[in-house]
Structure 1
Amino acid sequence: MNQTAHQAPGNPDVLAPAQLGPVSLRNRTIKAATYEGLSHEGLVTQELIDFHVRHAAGGVGMTTVAYCAVAPEGRTGAHQILWRPAALPGLRKLTEAVHAEGAAVCAQIGHAGPVANPKSNGAPALSPSRHFHKTTLSFAREATRGDLKRIVRNHAEAATMAVEAGFDAVEIHLGHNYLASSFLSPRINHRKDEYGGSLDNRARFPREIARAVRAAVGKRIAVIAKLNMDDGVPGGFWLDEAIPVARRLESDGSLDAVELTVGSSLLNPMYLFRGDAPLREFAQVMPQPVKTGVKLVGNRVLHSYPYEDAYLLEQARQVRAAIEMPLILLGGITNRRTMDLAMREGFQFVAMGRALLREPDLVNRIRADAATPSLCIHCNKCMVSFHGGIRCVLVDDSGDRAAGGATPITG
């Protein structure tokens, strides 16, 4: 691409090839992990493959498969992909299909911890300390040291399977108060052992996970972490601790890049998703008595935050100033202007979510015309749609989506 007014001299061209650890990407745009709701019985379906092929064909440098649980009790829903040998045939078919479109593919790996659904999983949710989950109306039990050792090992095993399945990268979930993130949070972590109290102690478990994953995969694939900068709740994890945690992760040498995020799926789920809070739509898909609770007091939990382009930049800039590791800017990246802004601010990659749900080919369209605007209106109704396969509700793709109960790929 020729240098334009959108690309200042000395700044990377966001649409030119780039290196992410050992992986060469055709450009610096990444389809962010957005739970697709298209897996079945913990396995890949053709609908899930088609979803990621659309984004690969649409021009992104890499697409991210979300959310792939490392342990049965670490799922937020029973149908989420679960790392085990039975999942490998479908995952291989997915990576091959994405590669055929010229894009790289990343697998998000993690354990939902207190965000997990114990009823659908048939097992108690785990948390640093005993915690009540308002959505599932159940208590998460305190994870034992044995649980933590097992889950660290589960992450390493999942990363090894990701290599076998043909993934180019894994993204370790250290955000949104999933298990590793909840250990970082003083609001949730009340432990008195070596995993609680000081920041060094609270960061111990996430760092153990990252080191184990790196040891398992070496330099065969890239290793990314999705790290919270701010839980969005009083007394939670915030920038003053996120910056030193990022420094510790950098010093460990276990990561090739960090994607910066915010919010708590447990305590403030809308903090990441700026724009409207679709209370009515959330209530429609919730079971009773949660449905009634959302209708009556949902606005106290599902807060609405005003949208603006590059809305996480101010916080992310603080992390950028503190470390040298490659960083991925997420949040309100919808057009060439915000992409180039990220490059000027020293970020190496940009991650896009809702804008690509609206227009999977947006990157190709921006490449063809730098003035291309995004059609996403930040209504956030896509957040509710994953119950039948995540999509932009303004696009009629019913002909492309199977009804519930899609057939899992087992061989």
Structure 2
Amino acid sequence: MTVPDVLAPARLGPIDLRNRVVKAATFEGRTPHGQVTDELIDFHLGPARGGVGLTTVAYLAVAPEGRTHAEVIVVGDDTAAGLARLADAVHDTGAAIAGQVGHAGPVANGRSNGVRAVASSRMPSPLSLQMIGSATERDLTRITRAYVGASRTLVDAGFDVLELHMAHSYLISSFLAPGLNKRRDRWGGPLENRARLARQIARAVREEVGDEAAVTAKVSVSDGFKGGVTTDAGLDLAELLESDGHLDALQLSGGSSLMNPMYLFRGEAPVAEFAAAMPLAVRLGLKTPIGRSFMKTYPFEEAYFREKALRFRERVSMPLMLLGGINRLETMEQAMADGFEYVALGRALLREPDLISRLAAGRQLEGACIHCNRCMPTIYSDAGTFCPEVPA
């Protein structure tokens, strides 16, 4: 088998990419009024000009209650023009653009949004201190249609790739996790039922956009909490999604924004920095035993999802994107040798948006990111997400 060159041109479904490096969806914090801004465009022009094949806009909600908070973009007629401007700017660099399309479900802050959050089952929200509602049949029909509408808007705006968010305890993920999904109807119980929404949305989006865009999904190799999606369940889900044939690739992620965010990031948990950026009630909550357990510390090692991801590579033949603290060209090349078709980087490109160009030119072999995670609390800053290691 010929091992592909990670920095050479490639295909993702019907889309041509100049290389196999994806700028992963990382919250930008640059849409204070829920609209595309010059600052958001500049944020994505950094890695686009810096050599990535694909940059991913996060997070694009399909419905008002599906926002993580009020400042998030809801894809629709009133945001379409700005999204088209963003897509045009990225295309001018030679890169492609993806939109992470999703519904936050229980990760939504209903108090901020002014709309009650919904999830697979009724539960208290640690974000808004309100009760989250159990999604009704009517809700799920409406939300599926909203995914379709948002996907059409993004494709018409020039987006090349639609990334369906099925991880991190967002709405679809909340159905997949047995500890969150307590339903006794056709949406709960065995995995085939819990995966119904994921498969329904993937099918509906593909039927809408056809080969006008690539359609991918972000899925979990493990949620990292009791009652979350396990690796075995993730593998079964991947097989179901592959058998349906609606997706062009899976991006392998992990952790839970609601229950265990550090499982995704690894390394030291920036508890003090988070507390300083949060409202008083949240700061006090972080000092409780429950709050301290929420911000766990996991040892960092590069490509920390590789071992679990290799199990996915063994079970399915569809293209896979490896994610998880990737920082070195050698690691990207190893991912290709392992049979992964793409690599996705987040923090490394926040520190050095031009990292891929530097690697391609042979000016360096690894990124400067130290994975201190102090960038995480900056999502709440007025300046938007940034790397504290980079001088202002």
Work out the CA distance in 2 between the residues paired with 1:25 and 1:169. Answer: 11
Residue equivalent to 1:331 = 324
Matches within 5 A, 1:198-277: 198-277=190-269
Superposed displacement of residue 277, structure 1? 0.3
Q: Deviations over 1:350-402 (max 9, x none)?
A: 000000000000000111117522111111111111123111011134xxxxx
Residue equivalent to 2:360 = 367
Residue equivalent to 1:346 = 339
Q: Deviations over 1:221-244 (max 9, x none)?
A: 000100012110012211111111
Work out the CA distance in 2 between the residues paired with 1:87 and 1:312. Answer: 35
Residue equivalent to 1:108 = 100
Superposed displacement of residue 162, structure 1? 0.7
Residue equivalent to 1:395 = 390
Relative contact order: is structure 1 or structure 2 higher (C-alpha 8 Å, sep ≥ 6)?
1
Find out whether 1:308 has 2:270 as its counterpart. no
Letter in 1 for 2:391: D
SS of residue paired to 1:67 = strand
Gaps of 5+ in 1: 1-8, 398-411
Q: Contact 1:133–1:266 (CA<8 Å) still a contact in 2?
A: no
TM-score for the superposition, normalised by structure 1:
0.93
Q: Deviations over 1:298-322 (max 9, x none)?
A: 3211001111011100000001100
Matches within 5 A, 1:94-243: 94-243=86-235
Work out the CA distance in 2 between the residues paired with 1:56 and 1:288. Answer: 38
Residue equivalent to 2:31 = 39
SS of residue paired to 2:264 = coil
Residue equivalent to 1:6 = none
Q: Contact 2:182–2:189 (CA<8 Å) still a contact in 1?
A: yes
Find out whether 1:318 has 2:311 as its counterpart. yes
State the aligned residue count: 389
Q: Deviations over 1:15-69 (max 9, x none)?
A: 0000000000000000000010101322100000000011100000000000000
Which deviates more, 326-335 or 25-34? 326-335
Residue equivalent to 1:3 = none
Superposed displacement of residue 273, structure 1? 0.4
Work out the CA distance in 1 between the residues paired with 2:287 and 2:42. Answer: 35
Matches within 5 A, 1:17-28: 17-28=9-20
Work out the CA distance in 2 between the residues paired with 1:235 and 1:83. Answer: 31
Q: Contact 1:336–1:370 (CA<8 Å) still a contact in 2?
A: no
Letter in 1 for 2:374: K
Work out the CA distance in 2 between the residues paired with 1:296 and 1:194. Answer: 38
Work out the CA distance in 2 between the residues paired with 1:196 and 1:318. Answer: 26
Gaps of 5+ in 2: none
Equivalent residue for 1:376, pick from 366, 369, 377 = 369
Work out the CA distance in 2 between the residues paired with 1:329 and 1:312. Answer: 8
Work out the CA distance in 2 between the residues paired with 1:134 and 1:96. Answer: 38
Superposed displacement of residue 135, structure 1? 2.8
TM-score for the superposition, normalised by structure 2:
0.98
Letter in 2 for 1:272: L
Q: Deviations over 1:312-362 (max 9, x none)?
A: 000000011000100000002111111011001100000000000000000
Matches within 5 A, 1:74-93: 74-93=66-85
Work out the CA distance in 1 between the residues paired with 2:254 and 2:377. Answer: 19
Find out whether 1:52 has 2:54 as its counterpart. no
Equivalent residue for 2:350, pick from 340, 357, 364 = 357
Work out the CA distance in 2 between the residues paired with 1:135 and 1:283. Answer: 14
Identity of aligned residues (%): 52
Q: Contact 2:50–2:353 (CA<8 Å) still a contact in 1?
A: yes
Equivalent residue for 1:385, pick from 370, 378, 384 = 378
Superposed displacement of residue 200, structure 1? 0.3
Superposed displacement of residue 208, structure 1? 0.5
Work out the CA distance in 2 between the residues paired with 1:138 and 1:229. Answer: 30
Work out the CA distance in 2 between the residues paired with 1:78 and 1:391. Answer: 20
Q: Contact 2:265–2:325 (CA<8 Å) still a contact in 1?
A: no
Superposed displacement of residue 138, structure 1? 1.9
Letter in 2 for 1:36: E
Q: Contact 1:279–1:295 (CA<8 Å) still a contact in 2?
A: no
Q: Contact 1:37–1:387 (CA<8 Å) still a contact in 2?
A: yes
Q: Contact 1:114–1:125 (CA<8 Å) still a contact in 2?
A: yes
Superposed displacement of residue 199, structure 1? 0.5
Q: Contact 1:69–1:109 (CA<8 Å) still a contact in 2?
A: yes
CA RMSD, Structure 1 to Structure 2 (Å): 1.0
Work out the CA distance in 2 between the residues paired with 1:135 and 1:113. Answer: 12
